[in-house]
Amino acid sequence: MSALDDLPPLREVIRRHDLSAKKSLGQNFLLDLNLTARIARAGGPLDGITVVEIGPGPGGLTRALIACGARRVIAVERDSRAIAALEEIAAHYPGRLTVVPGDALNVDLATCLDDGPARIVANLPYNIATALLVRWLATEPWPPWFDMMVLMFQREVAERIVATPGEKPYGRLAVLAGWRTHAKIMFDVAPSAFVPPPKVTSSVVRLVPRAAPLPCTRSTLERVTAAAFGQRRKMLRQSLRALGVDPALLLAATGIDGAVRAEEIPVEGFVALANALDAASTPSQDGAGEGKPA
Ligand code: SAM
Amino acid at 181: T
Nearest alpha carbon, ligand 1 atom 18:
55
Find the residues whose C-beta lies inside 6 A of ligand 1. 25-30, 54-57, 60-61, 76-79, 82, 103-105, 123, 125, 128
Strands 50-54 and 72-77: parallel
Nearest to 153 by CA among 183, 179, 113, 175: 183
pLDDT above 60 (res 292): no
Please write the tens of the pLDDT for every residue from 202-233.
Answer: 999 999 999 999 999 999 999 999 999 999 99
Q: What is the pTM of this model?
A: 0.94
- Report how far ligand 1's centroid is from the alpha carbon of 288 (Å): 53
- Report how far ligand 1's centroid is from the alpha carbon of 62 (Å): 12
Q: Are 124 and 48 in contact (CB under 8 A)?
A: no
- Report how far ligand 1's centroid is from the alpha carbon of 199 (Å): 17
- Report how far ligand 1's centroid is from the alpha carbon of 145 (Å): 22
Please write the tens of the pLDDT for every residue from 119-147.
Answer: 999 999 999 999 999 999 999 999 999 99
3-state SS class at 15: helix
Atom of ligand 1 nearest to the CA of 10: 5
